[in-house]
Structure 1
């Protein structure tokens, strides 16, 4: 059995798993709705081909002498379970919620599950749950497109067989490079910031239960956001980070002080076509200054996020321990994710649904989703319900929308001139 070290990104999620034992904190769960054109055998064959061709699904974690490592299990053809929920909406909804929140982590076992379903309306569905150690949002979109391509025409010749282990080998070279040393210097200086030396009220809970508040932005507002970002050469995640920093400086949001971005971290072309977990949450560290104009927030965030991207590969967790930084280095994480589904996905009118999980590791995660088969951004506010109330999240969303309009209409105004709820 050939074993390999865990990647930097995987190590972060393994730590989450160990700290939050038997929770759903690392779960990625989703439901793919497949209509009535296909049968069990076709769906089962396509899932098997996905698992065969994308070896990240076959990653298993092992431990020996208190050291964790991973290996790729040999492919075995599987008859995935079939469950019939025809005309049984209540039990279907209950089952989905329960399965999305079970803990599937175990040593030397699969870190994923697939179920083929007959849904209450009689259509076929595919449910999956995967541990974040082996997958991320980008990976899920790649998996869906591969699965759909095989399901609809069986043509996989144009899709190369890439291994997640190649990423591990690239990372081992990085850890011995001059780039690693430069990245360490950057993060060592950043993590000495006063923000991490000041004692704040502990917000990170022993049982990090969460709720989700979902908002669908209308196409007009989505287009306004895109127009602003295009004209100011700034990403959507940077716009939302700028808004959150402005709200923090204005003291219009409570309980949030340390902000970060979810970095997708796929460095090269092969990474972008390889399933597996590459994502890392990294802090975006700026000095507080409520005298800034709105467009100056954009410039500061854009500049600092560029620096974060430049030094993103470095494993900052070791520095956090060395510098005696207590607690989590993030209170709020902003994630912008795009899902570009294949023409076959759209032509066959398939749809997917990301399922809610009941645990997160920090007080607030703001996820912005853009799907090429839907109009309007989808916003998920995942929040620890012992830290935030639903009323506070509604208020925060209202202030964010207010700031979107202020940035778009008058970016040269000062923060003091803006009124919040």
Structure 2
């Protein structure tokens, strides 16, 4: 047997592993995505480029082995489950999208098996592209974006006889450092921070469906003062909707960022979503949600595979007289505060919270999550690109908004993943409409108060 170094799962991987373990739908950790390049492509060169890229990314060499409560993992040959071809010539876009949706929900094995499958495709218009289903245990959406970029750069290097892209940073190097985090001084500081954070006054549960959720829970439990509620369901159905923020709207928001010196649109999406939660929960001043943090601050982390996303509890208290500008500043300051401790294990963070607050394992103070990750898929002077993220047929939380790049349009894509047996399509439409209006009106009139923003329709 070859010499192997076995590593424990990282905190990010362990959270993902548990979601699969306890979900009825094992596809819950699939990440199905497509990349379409709007030009006719040589399918043989494209397939070879994907194969070469797989060889460059050591995440595809990760293998899991069973070991008591949590698996171990090791690196070996870089392979995927399969690479097939799909030709939609003479068919419709609708047929192609239905095919992707069906492939997206097929589970991937996780033990002693490659954890990705690929499809080289030709669209009905004759464009070339890639559809893939990659296990979240080996890559997150950031890594997949960087991998796709590598594939396309290799394709054009092969086609044009130009230099290959620079080598990929091995994920194993980053994983080794992550495994050692628990022995670092930063770990102890983060532990103390989260203990202090959860020792404050009990937060208030805020659901996207409004205060009716906690009122129903209080009545059921006979506890009229409960500030937590049940928000997770063993049996759930998955909704997956896509809405856009246009370039013109982004331009308006960007002018506000420049004036107030905020580095990213993230704070505006936080403000928009938070204001919706406050509005539908009786103008609640104490609002909590989850932020999903990519944790790719260094150049090494940005350029490697693996999965590094962590769930962070994000709580802010804003009285109704808080202005839009002041609210954004509060969110930005809190975000910076939290992100200094975001390497802390999400599961350990949950344990700290449960030890200090009344809610039990089946109850929560948060039912919404936000990821802001508009990683651009730019390939220099190449053709236009389309990307899309698909539903894997399962859902781990009631409401999850992911903001992603608009494929060079200057806009942004908002993917809403939600429990469709609990939250309606109409509710998602209303969330997007109101969130966008709050961001735009607040950007144009920063002195508007929350109470005034609640009156927007």
TM-score by length of 1: 0.91
Tell whether the 8 Å contact from 2:169 to 2:304 is kept in structure 1 after alignment. yes
Report the alpha carbon displacement of residue 205 of structure 1 after superposing the two structures with TM: 1.6
Structure-1 residue corresponding to 2:230: 202
Flag the 1:191–1:79 CA change in 2: closer, same or farther, 3 A.
closer
Alignment of 1:126-275 (within 5 A): 126-154=130-158, 157-193=164-200, 194-195=202-203, 198-234=226-262, 235-251=264-280, 258-275=288-305
Alpha-carbon distance in structure 2 between the residues aligned to 1:257 and 1:25: 27
More off after superposition, 409-418 vs 296-305 = 409-418
Tell whether the 8 Å contact from 1:339 to 1:372 is kept in structure 2 after alignment. no
Flag the 1:171–1:245 CA change in 2: closer, same or farther, 3 A.
same
Structure-2 residue corresponding to 1:302: 332
Report the alpha carbon displacement of residue 187 of structure 1 after superposing the two structures with TM: 1.0
Report the alpha carbon displacement of residue 252 of structure 1 after superposing the two structures with TM: 5.8
Flag the 1:401–1:64 CA change in 2: closer, same or farther, 3 A.
closer
Q: Deviations over 1:116-161 (max 9, x none)?
A: 2333344433211111111112111211111011111135655123
Q: Deviations over 1:331-384 (max 9, x none)?
A: 11112222323435x523343322233322111112222246222122222221
Alpha-carbon distance in structure 2 between the residues aligned to 1:77 and 1:106: 12
Alpha-carbon distance in structure 2 between the residues aligned to 1:265 and 1:110: 25
Tell whether the 8 Å contact from 2:287 to 2:316 is kept in structure 1 after alignment. no
Structure-1 residue corresponding to 2:420: 385
Flag the 1:74–1:115 CA change in 2: closer, same or farther, 3 A.
same
Alignment of 1:285-364 (within 5 A): 285-324=315-354, 325-326=360-361, 327-328=363-364, 330-344=366-380, 347-364=382-399
Tell whether the 8 Å contact from 1:264 to 1:278 is kept in structure 2 after alignment. yes
Alpha-carbon distance in structure 1 between the residues aligned to 2:131 and 2:105: 13
- Alignment equivalent of 2:35, drawn from 16, 32, 47: 32
Report the alpha carbon displacement of residue 223 of structure 1 after superposing the two structures with TM: 0.6
Structure-2 residue corresponding to 1:410: 445
Alpha-carbon distance in structure 2 between the residues aligned to 1:115 and 1:125: 8
Q: Deviations over 1:71-99 (max 9, x none)?
A: 11213599722233332336533321111
Flag the 1:227–1:253 CA change in 2: closer, same or farther, 3 A.
farther
Report the alpha carbon displacement of residue 181 of structure 1 after superposing the two structures with TM: 0.4
Structure-1 residue corresponding to 2:115: 111
Tell whether the 8 Å contact from 1:247 to 1:253 is kept in structure 2 after alignment. no
Structure-2 residue corresponding to 1:394: 429
Alignment of 1:73-88 (within 5 A): 73-75=76-78, 80-88=83-91
Alpha-carbon distance in structure 2 between the residues aligned to 1:257 and 1:105: 38
How many aligned residue pairs are there?
Answer: 420
Flag the 1:295–1:19 CA change in 2: closer, same or farther, 3 A.
same
Alpha-carbon distance in structure 2 between the residues aligned to 1:75 and 1:393: 40
Structure-2 residue corresponding to 1:369: 404
Alpha-carbon distance in structure 2 between the residues aligned to 1:186 and 1:228: 32
**Long gaps (5+) in structure 1:** none
Flag the 1:341–1:123 CA change in 2: closer, same or farther, 3 A.
closer
Report the alpha carbon displacement of residue 329 of structure 1 after superposing the two structures with TM: 5.6
Structure-1 residue corresponding to 2:219: none
TM-score by length of 2: 0.84
Supply the RMSD in Å over aligned alpha carbons.
Answer: 2.6
**Structure 2 counterpart SS, 1:179:** helix
Tell whether the 8 Å contact from 2:240 to 2:391 is kept in structure 1 after alignment. yes
